[in-house]
Structure 1
Amino acid sequence: MSVFQNAMRQLDTAAAVAKPDPSVLEALRHPKRILEVSFQVKMDDGSVRTFVGYRVQYDDSRGPFKGGVRFHQQTDLDEVKALSFWMAIKCAVVGVPFGGGKGGVTVDPKKLSSTELERLSRAYFRAIAPFVGENVDVPAPDVNTTPQIMAWFADEYARYASRQVPGVLTGKPLAVGGSKGRMSATGQGGLFVLDEHLKKEGTDPSSVTIAVQGFGNAGQHFARLAHERGYRIVAVSDSRGATVNPAGFDPQAIIEHKSRTGAVAGFVGGQDADPALILETDCRVIVPAALENQLTAENASRVKAKIVLELANGPTVPEADSIFTQHGVVVLPDVLSNAGGVAVSYFEWVQNRLGYYWGYDEVRQKLETLMKQAYA
């Protein structure tokens, strides 16, 4: 079953409880606009390659389309449609005035040089520039895209619009209108949700063990902040490997190790493990922070954790949800748990519009208030 089909099954499940107007339900089954672009990029060896990219604008009934752009070899239209649908729901859950959108390019950016990556980024954004804008569609980073890539996007849009428009993108570097707290926002927002849930249970963070699947931006910041909060991080994985230590370790040391080596495997403070089994770690909380469709009917019954904190988009398929319900496993869903990113993107957009910028503590306080209200 495709990612978008899974998203629509989730919609049906929610509709059975919420019982929305049939016309609203029907509208949510179809994106408002689908853009597919192809563009050529000159490679360092002088050859020219053609790449395919997407921008899906799902729903703008609550405000401009909003959602990240990912660069990944498995990205396709079906995935981008699902991600844009989830963005529409996510923005509504946390109460920010955006609709849902998403973009992507089918490419393995790890196989590109820095100059090839820049040329690809600029070419993609030139292709979609006529269809975005600070009041129309506001892209942001996602898998394998960074503040630097947002800066290249912003520069291309300035050429298109013949003026600087900082509010057309979020997740930018601070020097070009980014917001303090944006880099850590997804992980920080997820931690606020976990804190609230465990407080309701009466559980102290120091007694909670956590395994994190995916050690990119969201996974790294979540693990670091959770460790500082008193949680015990016992396992982390990335696309190349995994490291475990039942006694726990300091995620900052793993971050530094990965920065040096390019992978979490080989970390001296842990034992190498099979990354495919990270979600089956014996711990209280698992945090899928990588890609969609990670928890399935095949592996859900082997999950030992009692809480799933979804920092990735769509990591749990409906069949796995049913198994978790039967086994008493609580799923803190992606449309809430990873909404910290779009929340601080909203703060960045507001700051760009006002021309007035907040300090880190103010951004963090506003994010905490918003996430706790959404959880309640």
Structure 2
Amino acid sequence: MAIDIINPYDVAVAQFDDAAERLGLSQAMRAILRKPKRELTVNFPVRMDNGDVEMFTGYRVQHNINRGPAKGGIRFSPQVSLDEVRALAMWMTWKCAVVGIPFGGAKGGVICDPHKMSRAELERMTRRYATEISILIGPDSDIPAPDMNTNPQVMGWIMDTYSMHRGYSIPAVITGKPLAVGGSEGRLEATARGVQVVTRAALRDLGMIPEDCKAVIQGFGNVGSIAARLIKELGCKVVGLSDISGGVYNPKGIDVYTALRYSREHGSLLGLPGTETVTNSELLELPCDVLVPAALENQLTKLNATRIKARLVIEAANGPTTLEADHILNDRGITVVPDILANAGGVTVSYFEWVQDLQRFFWAEGEINERLENIMQRSYQAVRRKSEEQHVNLRLGAYLLAVARVAEATEIRGVYP
């Protein structure tokens, strides 16, 4: 299936414009919130293992910081672009606002293929990128986190690099770190745990019984693999899974623990015993009740939205649904829990980690999960109430809440000078 070439930043701006129109925001407010506050592009050399020097390009974009320090992940991918990072930064602004945590939105990325780099090359590239963006990041200004193809070790290198420049340890400069250097209990599972909370709540609202539901999860990275396990724990039968290599399907159900073990041992889900192979495109159109896109942007488009069979879509990925697909799914009566709510568990526990680092006082995992559950439940209910009051879908309900909160902070602070 051909995938539309869609600029994610255009999607992000159009989603904002829709909310701004309904909120009646002034021309000045719309102009301010449509544009990122800061954009940094860096080109930097890295010495490779064979002695050659390669140039890499990286970005760090801060969309809005009126509610607090900028917050957002760093991704390493050949597909990274400035417009993608702009869109992700804007989505982070709304995500932090919708769950009510005191951060603004940011995002970063490096154009590279980390799977083709040695560990030593990856470390050198990460440390050089961290050095280049150190003029923006800091525990009071901009706190990065893991994203696609980055992990706790990468965060540890960034924390160490920043700390070396300052001459003392500053764990609060970044979140998603290993526990040994100031990471938080529960952070690795946080995004997927938030997905589980909103899935349970949405199923209840729709009168769907988890034990009677079939689920399909696209993406088997940190978020997708853990979400598959936690959705199975809700009682749903997982019938389809996919990773970058393709998908696997069994209408009678897939044992998620077996899939996790097989993926670790073989580096892919393909060939998982007891399943048939499907493409990633076919996976999205499988018969199911719950569909969880947990991979890339622009996976549900006008080309396949008419063939989606799920009653409930939970956006574990950022921006997986295009504007046209959103309208089609809405017209078909398919409920979509939007990304800025559904996957906000990660940034919520990142906030907890930052607070713990600043205080040098750490919480138990049970306490963290309980706090996360409370915030995600409260945020889901607030979005649902707003959507019902305004007679709009959950995405627009979430945007109306989030944009209003950011606009209020921006209005109070005013335009300087």
TM-score by length of 1: 0.98
Q: CA deviation at 1:250?
A: 2.0
State how 1:275-290 maps to structure 2 within 5 Å. Answer: 275-290=280-295
Provide the secondary structure at the position in 2 that maps to 1:57.
strand
Query: Contact 1:224–1:250 (CA<8 Å) still a contact in 2?
Result: no
Letter of the 1:270 counterpart: T
1:122-162 Cα offsets, whole Å, 9 max, x none, are: 11101111211000000000000000000000010011111
Please point out which of 10, 21, 31 is paired with 1:26: 31
Please point out which of 208, 221, 226 is paired with 2:231: 226
1:87-146 Cα offsets, whole Å, 9 max, x none, are: 000000000000000000001111111111111111110111121100000000000000
Q: CA deviation at 1:238?
A: 0.8
Please point out which of 60, 65, 68 is paired with 2:65: 60
- The answer as to 2:220 corresponding to 1:210 is no
Distance in structure 1 (CA, Å) of the matches to 2:261 and 2:254: 13
**What is the aligned partner in structure 1 of residue 266 from structure 2?**
261
- The answer as to 2:28 corresponding to 1:14 is no
Distance in structure 1 (CA, Å) of the matches to 2:354 and 2:67: 15
- The answer as to 2:30 corresponding to 1:5 is no
Q: After TM superposition, which residue ranges in structure 1, 4 or more long, deviate above 4 angstroms?
A: none
Please point out which of 186, 190, 204 is paired with 1:185: 190
Q: CA deviation at 1:306?
A: 1.2
Structure 1: runs of 5+ lacking an equivalent: none
Provide the secondary structure at the position in 2 that maps to 1:272.
strand
Distance in structure 2 (CA, Å) of the matches to 1:65 and 1:46: 37
**What is the aligned partner in structure 2 of residue 125 from structure 1?**
130
67-76 vs 225-234, greater mean Cα deviation: 225-234
Distance in structure 2 (CA, Å) of the matches to 1:22 and 1:197: 35
Please point out which of 66, 72, 75 is paired with 2:77: 72
Distance in structure 2 (CA, Å) of the matches to 1:104 and 1:224: 28
Distance in structure 1 (CA, Å) of the matches to 2:29 and 2:214: 41
Distance in structure 1 (CA, Å) of the matches to 2:51 and 2:85: 31
Distance in structure 2 (CA, Å) of the matches to 1:7 and 1:299: 20
**What is the aligned partner in structure 1 of residue 43 from structure 2?**
38
**What is the aligned partner in structure 1 of residue 327 from structure 2?**
322
**What is the aligned partner in structure 2 of residue 333 from structure 1?**
338
Alignment root-mean-square deviation, CA: 0.9
Distance in structure 1 (CA, Å) of the matches to 2:30 and 2:285: 36
Q: CA deviation at 1:23?
A: 2.4
253-262 vs 90-99, greater mean Cα deviation: 253-262
Query: Contact 2:249–2:276 (CA<8 Å) still a contact in 1?
Result: yes
Distance in structure 2 (CA, Å) of the matches to 1:365 and 1:250: 27
Distance in structure 2 (CA, Å) of the matches to 1:268 and 1:183: 28
63-72 vs 236-245, greater mean Cα deviation: 236-245
Distance in structure 2 (CA, Å) of the matches to 1:301 and 1:206: 26
Letter of the 2:249 counterpart: V
Please point out which of 270, 292, 306 is paired with 2:311: 306
Distance in structure 2 (CA, Å) of the matches to 1:203 and 1:106: 42
Aligned positions, number? 376
State how 1:118-197 maps to structure 2 within 5 Å. Answer: 118-197=123-202
Q: CA deviation at 1:241?
A: 1.4
**What is the aligned partner in structure 1 of residue 112 from structure 2?**
107
State how 1:325-364 maps to structure 2 within 5 Å. Answer: 325-364=330-369
Provide the secondary structure at the position in 2 that maps to 1:365.
helix
5-14 vs 268-277, greater mean Cα deviation: 268-277
Query: Contact 2:301–2:321 (CA<8 Å) still a contact in 1?
Result: yes
Query: Contact 2:200–2:234 (CA<8 Å) still a contact in 1?
Result: no
Letter of the 1:318 counterpart: L
Letter of the 1:337 counterpart: A
Query: Contact 1:282–1:305 (CA<8 Å) still a contact in 2?
Result: yes
Provide the secondary structure at the position in 1 that maps to 2:80.
coil
Distance in structure 2 (CA, Å) of the matches to 1:213 and 1:284: 14
1:271-313 Cα offsets, whole Å, 9 max, x none, are: 2211221111110011110111111111111111111100100
Distance in structure 1 (CA, Å) of the matches to 2:68 and 2:269: 40
Provide the secondary structure at the position in 1 that maps to 2:34.
coil
Q: CA deviation at 1:256?
A: 1.1
Distance in structure 1 (CA, Å) of the matches to 2:316 and 2:155: 21
Provide the secondary structure at the position in 2 that maps to 1:373.
helix
- The answer as to 2:371 corresponding to 1:366 is yes
Distance in structure 1 (CA, Å) of the matches to 2:204 and 2:304: 29
TM-score by length of 2: 0.89
Letter of the 2:316 counterpart: L
**What is the aligned partner in structure 2 of residue 96 from structure 1?**
101
Structure 2: runs of 5+ lacking an equivalent: 1-5, 382-417
Query: Contact 1:213–1:289 (CA<8 Å) still a contact in 2?
Result: yes
Letter of the 1:129 counterpart: S
1:219-256 Cα offsets, whole Å, 9 max, x none, are: 01100111122111110001101111111122121111
Distance in structure 2 (CA, Å) of the matches to 1:120 and 1:89: 30
**What is the aligned partner in structure 1 of residue 400 from structure 2?**
none
Distance in structure 2 (CA, Å) of the matches to 1:63 and 1:120: 29
Letter of the 2:355 counterpart: V
Please point out which of 166, 186, 205 is paired with 1:200: 205
